[in-house]
A and B are shown apart, each in its own frame.
Chain A
């Protein structure tokens, strides 16, 4: 057993106590000590986030004498283009020259920069106005500096594309020439800021700006967490307990230590359940390179004590969820008398939908490097949540969070997985175990699939009643799914307000009798955020069922959907039993049925809804509001005689309010469409004997180029004024895709698929 370091129990068992911190996802599933006093006015949006929103230009803007403008971005770049869009807004408000802009990445420091938690589709939603204020303030400071230098009133100075101009005297100064003087000026008060006329925007809303990381990405220079290299660095992989909550039993590491390059095997203790963001524990193999560490891990002899989740079995669990969905459960919204209306309905339609667990599987698996020096720790890693990282690393090392420095790298895909810093805490523990040498910890793909924070699994049961004319008179939805809350708090068996507010309770339907119930479901694995979260199962079930009701009523699904949505109106989400509303103001961010109608009509029109298609083809439609944006998709499918499914075309109409970077909004929607197709056609993580059954991209398949929709058309709704509230962009494209696809399959084949993924259900 030589070479083993047994980390102190204290270090690894310093659990993140349930309810003592605010969840990284900000989904409101746990409330931190900073919860607002009862009489304080309720805050919304970015102001309600830990750390809030900062708009001091001195934090985010640095101008060099040569005119180089360095803009600090404090959000994680994970493919949404935020580093580009963020800088675009500041640069445009400053009237700066994009060619002179450089973007730097802020370290994790929420006290200094404001909230840095990159998820929930809210980077631009929460910061657009603050970024404008930063740019406007910087511009006014530059103008003031030039005015002082010239001895003229500031009102006579105009700003022109990285220069300051005094028209009367024909004088001109570059930004860089007054940079030092401007930096010494006080920051103008918020009320004195004058914003640029949007008609004069060069970058905002135009989107002909190249990605700031484009060159580095296309030349292999871009650095992700997995690419970090430090002097004297070691490489590690961990053998973790295969069952959630299991721990190390007997082990022998002698053979592993014989592998050339392997330096040490380190025991990592297992945190008790609920383990939150804490690592799972196990045996870490530390080596001179990743390959040696991997070979060493193969040579470990380990038995595991599996614990109470060893019986988790997806087939049996599905039956449990179905049983729960067939009996009454906790009522979470109730209008009218659903039972009576169902009894007297001319037609009573019932359907059950199933969506299995999903893994985010970002192409860059979780990876980070750490170096512990005394009571300080430096992290280099790809994380969506630098502050949660600091807190989690601080807990496992028993040091103050201020002693943890997080250097944010590019994130090679996150989709919610990298909101959870378990892998970073592992790297930190291993650096300490290796006497402070830097250690890079890498998840293999199998580690990623086996030790993730999975998307929930759910059964959604819907019942609907139609009157003799085919009008909907009753709607009953039972949603049954283990909650993300259970990952953090013992005994959680119901979906939280945020999960229910993702399309379960908050349907705006014109139906006189409507009830939503949420029966209990116990969690047996780590559930976490997955791009668009509970919107996926809720929208799949709700929007499939709308089409099923339309079929029963003998109506066109698009017309039936529009009738259900009803006339354009603004609904306070609380009136839909949604107390959460993505933490946005229920008035400014009301549920706007006119906007939902708008995207349905646009998608249908653009897709040629109703135009005849060749035999074997069909179109399906679905719409969904999420993250304060509205999306509708029309998917066109082709199913051949053998049951092979192809997707010639998808039209997605999208209304996120003002569009800041249209190119990135389009890119996010293109990606969301195919990710939606991927989960609908192929996505499934399943358990047997408590263990994940999928090991890599052969068994956990994701959509590849040949199966991706051939023609994706993104239709952005005309943007309102730039002071209108912004919706989210990264996630809301996903939810309508699966139901639109399955509705299209029904249109093409008459076959209604209610259980995802489709996989070979269409095969003849």
Chain B
């Protein structure tokens, strides 16, 4: 049996430990916000956080998850108001939107570690996320817009503690 948390909820999984997290999320849990795009860690559509770090859920098996805290796009914020989500909406980043959950998860992880990323840091962090609609200029702009905000929120929640 594998135990881990999913968006803060304890999970026990007794099935095949080889099952990729992606299909567990989508087909078993019904959390379809995490997308399938390639199945081979080539496109980033399936990006989720494992203990806060961005991972490709298509290449992560349930067996890898023992004791891990998994966060999906559905759990990124309770109300959809994570600064990255807000910036994405303010700039109308999405076109078809299909890749955007993965983009947002990669961007949110980037900003947690690098509050003010350079263009090169954005390229590095986001290179694994394909957007076939090519919303890249707005992705870059939205990350920069969210950057100040993430920093401010982190700083204020830090000082409140």
* A interface residue numbers (CB < 8 A to B): 77-81, 210-211, 213-215, 217-224, 226-227, 229, 235, 260, 289-291, 294, 361-365, 410-415, 442, 444-445, 663-664, 667-668, 670-675, 678, 696-698, 702-706, 708-712
Contacts and interface: CB of A to CB of B under 8 A. Distances in A.
26 contacts: A79-B94, A211-B89, A215-B89, A218-B89, A219-B76, A220-B31, A226-B32, A226-B35, A227-B26, A290-B36, A291-B20, A291-B23, A291-B27, A363-B35, A364-B98, A412-B35, A412-B98, A413-B96, A445-B37, A445-B38, A445-B39, A668-B95, A673-B134, A696-B39, A702-B130, A710-B119
Nearest to A446: B39
A526 B43 CA distance: 26
Given A218-B88, A235-B27, A444-B39, 4 more contacts: A80-B95, A445-B40, A673-B134, A712-B137
Contact of B85 (A218, A365, A667): A218
A218 B129 contact: no
Nearest to B37: A363
Contacts of B138: 667, 670
Given A218-B104, A696-B38, A413 B133 contact: yes
Contacts of A215: 80, 89
Given A226-B36, A290-B23, A413 B98 contact: yes
Q: Which of B30, B92, B127, B129 has the most CB of A within 10 A?
A: B92
Contact of A290 (B26, B33, B137, B140): B26
B83 to A, nearest CB: 11
Given A214-B89, A217-B97, A290-B27, A361 B140 contact: no
In order of increasing CB-CB distance, the 9 nearest A-B pairs are A220-B33, A412-B98, A79-B95, A79-B96, A674-B134, A220-B73, A217-B97, A227-B32, A706-B123
A750 to B, nearest CB: 29
Given A219-B73, A222-B97, A214 B134 contact: no
B17 to A, nearest CB: 12
A667 to B, nearest CB: 6
Interface string B39-83: 110110100000000000000000000000000111010001000
B3 interface: no
Majority SS at the chain A contact face? loop
A705 B96 contact: no
Given A219-B73, A290-B26, A363 B96 contact: yes
Interface of B: 16, 19-20, 23, 26-28, 30-40, 42-43, 45, 72-74, 76, 80, 85, 88-89, 92, 94-101, 104, 119, 122-123, 126-140
Given A214-B89, A705-B122, A671 B133 contact: yes
B36 A365 contact: yes
Contacts of A291: 19-20, 23, 27
Contacts of A411: 96
Nearest to A260: B16
A708 B134 contact: yes
A607 to B, nearest CB: 16
Contacts of B92: 210-211, 214, 663-664, 667
A412 B96 contact: yes
Contact of B136 (A226, A290, A365, A674): A674
Nearest to A220: B33
Nearest to A411: B96
B97 A79 contact: yes
A396 B137 CA distance: 43
Contact of B42 (A213, A364, A663, A697): A697
A722 to B, nearest CB: 22
A670 B135 contact: yes
A745 to B, nearest CB: 20
Contacts of B34: 220
A147 B132 CA distance: 51
Contacts of A78: 96
A681 B74 CA distance: 36
Contacts of A413: 95-96, 98, 132-133
Given A227-B32, A290-B23, A361-B132, A708 B96 contact: no
A708 B95 contact: no
Nearest to A208: B92
A47 to B, nearest CB: 29
B96 A410 contact: yes
Contacts of B23: 289-291
Contacts of A361: 132
A182 to B, nearest CB: 32
A705 B122 CA distance: 9
A227 B20 CA distance: 17
Given A219-B33, A291-B27, A696-B40, A213 B97 contact: yes
B127 A410 contact: no
A663 B122 CA distance: 24
B134 A363 contact: no
A78 B97 CA distance: 8
A81 B40 CA distance: 30
A214 B37 CA distance: 20
A561 to B, nearest CB: 26
Contacts of B139: 705
Contacts of A412: 35, 96-98
A64 B119 CA distance: 48
Contacts of A697: 37-38, 40, 42-43, 130
A412 B72 CA distance: 19
A220 B74 contact: yes
Nearest to A217: B97
